[in-house]
Structure 1
Amino acid sequence: MLIVPEDHPPSAVRGNQEGTVGVHLTVTAGGKVSDCAVRQSSGAQILDITTCKLLGRRARFTPALDAAGKPTEGHFDHVVRWKIAARWEVNIQLPRKVDSRARP
């Protein structure tokens, strides 16, 4: 996975910011991202910026080929859904005294 739950910016988690970011990536002939344009904002600038930053750093592609079969610049559209990971807390309270006469 290119983006994992741990990538959610702490300030966005504190602000309970979630959303979907749609991006248009420009990919070099070497398969690396050279540009990232937000096409659909999540509504939270930190999520939009983080999406482009992480995809630019981590994404690698098989380059597009031109008519002669040589690697060339290409484009890729992608959507990232930022959702705050659920945190489960279990609070089990046991009875202080068990009544041996109690029946289920």
Structure 2
Amino acid sequence: MSFHYRSAAIALLAASLFPTAVLASSDDAWEAMRADVSAKCLEAAAGSIETPQAVVDPFGSESFGLALVSGKPKGAEGRISQICVYNKQTKAVELGGELTEDMLKTPAK
């Protein structure tokens, strides 16, 4: 096997493995971001929702992680949801107002 052929084969093998390594790293980064969004949104909602549960948008927007946090409101009956916005740069979260079940229902057409 000539030096050039061997070098080309090694380069081709390395290039074919590179996208997989990048994708795995990217998947890990997305999963870490989703875990942070969930943890911070649940912590923020703990003041208004008993045992809050979060559904995290898998990727959010370009600048923000997004989640819908829901559960029983503290000191009241029923169920509420709050939109949680996570700044990807500063990692700060903000909650929207309380949305009742009636507010989330789609009117029948």
Q: Normalization by structure 2: what TM-score? A: 0.27
More helix by share: 2
Using CA pairs below 8 Å that are at least 6 residues apart, which structure has the higher relative contact order?
A: 1
For normalisation by structure 1, the TM-score amounts to: 0.28
